[in-house]
Structure 1
Amino acid sequence: MDSASIKEGMLFLTQTGVGILGNASLLCLYNFHLITGHMLKPTDLILSQLVLANSLVLFSKGIPHTMTAFGLQFVLGDTGCRLVFYLHRVSRGVSLSTTCLLSGFQAIKLSPDFSRWMELRMRSPKSIGFCCFLCWILHLLLNSTVPLRMCGPQNSTNSSRKIRNFGFCHVCILGKLINAMLIFILSSIDAMHLGIMVWASGSMVLVLHKHKKRVQHIHSNRLSPGPSPEARATSTVLVLVSMFVSFYTLSSTLTLYVSVVESGRWLVHFSVFAASCFPAFSPLVLISRHPHFLVSLWFWGSKRTFL
């Protein structure tokens, strides 16, 4: 194994380790609140699904690519390759839809023009849970053709269809027309999600800007108070959406290029690294924006130690 492979493996290992540790910590916190009977906010329900989806992305893509970078053989075989890649596509899509749901929910929450009925419905845990359930159903159905197009490395040489290498798995190009239709459908749905995120983010920025101008004269002659909880929550959502759109655009562009043009190993690995940046580093944003998280986690750990 050469030095380049070692560097790539260490990079994937660090990224995957940081992401799994951060997401696992957040899942522990949310589950601790559920077990102890704490009332979760609607945004916490959405964030818990986002954390779960990001964890599955890292497990289904980060770990196999880390093994491949270190030169280890992927032991799940052809069936395992299909299932793992299908899980990655579904969890990646759920992460996209959940981020879109989070930004849309926060925009509705801030908007003064929305009806009281709609606001109450969006605050209902049952409504939020139903929206989260629909996210999973949507992407389970949309990616149902993924297992049919994937094959493990041991079967790639026996296939008569055109093969593209995605690291530990290979995708079989079913035909130019079918491949173009699949790319168009999936890309259109992704573009719709991104458009909603951009619209919601713009709406939140405008509402916050108007609110800041409206109250600016009130605090002109005294010390300005700290930001409100709504402003802090909105800024967190905006940071998450900005991260997602940036990394998603970069990874999608690289993945499309790799799918169309035969590329080297380094470009395939870089596209995987870019796709895993949001699942790996978004927990750090959530933890840093919620200082009480560390206190809750410490209290939970201390309680388990003394029991």
Structure 2
Amino acid sequence: MLSLKNVYYFQAGIGILANAFLLLFHIYTINQNHRTKPSDVTTCHLAFVHIVMLLTTLDILSADIFKSLNAPNDLTCKALFYLSRVMRGLSICTTCLLSIIQVITISPSTFYLSRFKNQLTKYIIRAFFCVWSLNLSSNSNMIIYTVAHSNITNLLNINKYCSLPSMKPIIMSIFFTLAVSQNVFFVAGMLISSVYMVIFLSSHQKRSRYLHSMKVLPRTSPTTRATQTVLLLVSFFVIMYCLDIIISSSSAILEKYDPVVLDVQRLVCNVYATVSPLVFISSDKRIAAILQNMIYMTPILKSR
């Protein structure tokens, strides 16, 4: 139990640091460039969402913050669980938006969505407003139903501090249907975008083979690298999302709070939030150039 919690906190710490670095880098990039790239804005938004998501899942840290504010236990539970659910939904939506942006970026002028290419940044800001409104409203039921632990027996424990009272089957079915429909819609958007990106990469590979046969050495373009990065992230997200559904569904069926299962579910749920910034950092040549310059300048500064 203790070792699993240590792994969980280590994972959350790495994820928060990596997302913070990615967020600061893209804020700096957006301020420096006269023309903002939609992918930079979306990646910046995704890093911010993942920071808040990882912080809200740290029970001890989050509870201490609310205790310092002298917040009641019920208010603490409602705020933490509601915020974590909203951030999780925003993570799904933002990843879907990132894949759609990449599809629009690589699409030819004959493609239907290419007409949004010139004003993509403006549409992305509108999309952020829509997904925030959607997730804030769709998870509002958590504010009503989430309560702190008590001696009442008909409560379903959802984490170390909070519980959900038993609801009427109709109400539970409505909330479940809405949540599943929203997630299925955005995951389907990721999968459709992924299929298009696979087709694009396949055609690009055939072109590269042709250039190689013509004695021309092809170079991987930044667009291709960005497409491969987004495709990798979407594939990894879908795998982790399906695994999280399996674990959470089994816990819901059993209706039993198990600290070990909860920690394992958190590990799985936070894997994407931890890995995604590392993928962005390793695949971004701008970050690699900055890190190389820092390594190169260090011995020079020491010699002085």
TM bucket, shorter chain: 0.7 to 0.9
Identify the range of structure 1 (205-214 vs 282-291) with the bigger mean alpha-carbon deviation. Answer: 205-214
Q: Counterparts in 2 of 1:168-247, with a 5 A limit?
A: 168-222=161-215, 224-247=217-240
Change (3 A) 1:52 1:210: same
Give unmatched runs, 5+ long, in structure 1. 303-307
In the alignment, which of 265, 270, 276 is matched to residue 282 of structure 1?
276
Normalised by the length of structure 1, the TM-score is 0.86
Over the matched positions of the two proteins, sequence identity in percent amounts to 28
Change (3 A) 1:24 1:297: farther
Normalised by the length of structure 2, the TM-score is 0.86
Large movers: runs of 4+ above 3 Å: 34-39, 65-68, 72-76, 294-300
Shift of 1:164: 2.9
Identify the range of structure 1 (168-177 vs 44-53) with the bigger mean alpha-carbon deviation. Answer: 168-177
CA root-mean-square deviation: 2.7
1:55-96 per-position Cα deviation (integer Å, ceiling 9, x unaligned):
1110111x116889xxx9984622011101111111110110
In the alignment, which of 64, 84, 89 is matched to residue 85 of structure 2?
89
Shift of 1:213: 1.7
The AA in structure 2 aligned to 1:219 is: H
Aligned to 1:305: none
Give unmatched runs, 5+ long, in structure 2. 298-304
The AA in structure 2 aligned to 1:34 is: I
Change (3 A) 1:264 1:299: same
Partner secondary structure for residue 216 of structure 1: helix
Change (3 A) 1:102 1:73: closer
The AA in structure 2 aligned to 1:293 is: I
In the alignment, which of 33, 47, 54 is matched to residue 29 of structure 2?
33
The AA in structure 1 aligned to 2:192 is: W
* Counterparts of 2:273 and 2:193, CA distance in 1: 21
Contact 1:12 1:66 in 2 (8 A): no
Change (3 A) 1:7 1:138: same
Equivalent pairs counted in the alignment come to: 291
* Counterparts of 2:41 and 2:89, CA distance in 1: 18
Aligned to 1:59: 55
Contact 2:89 2:135 in 1 (8 A): yes
The AA in structure 2 aligned to 1:114 is: F
1:135 aligned onto 2:115:
no
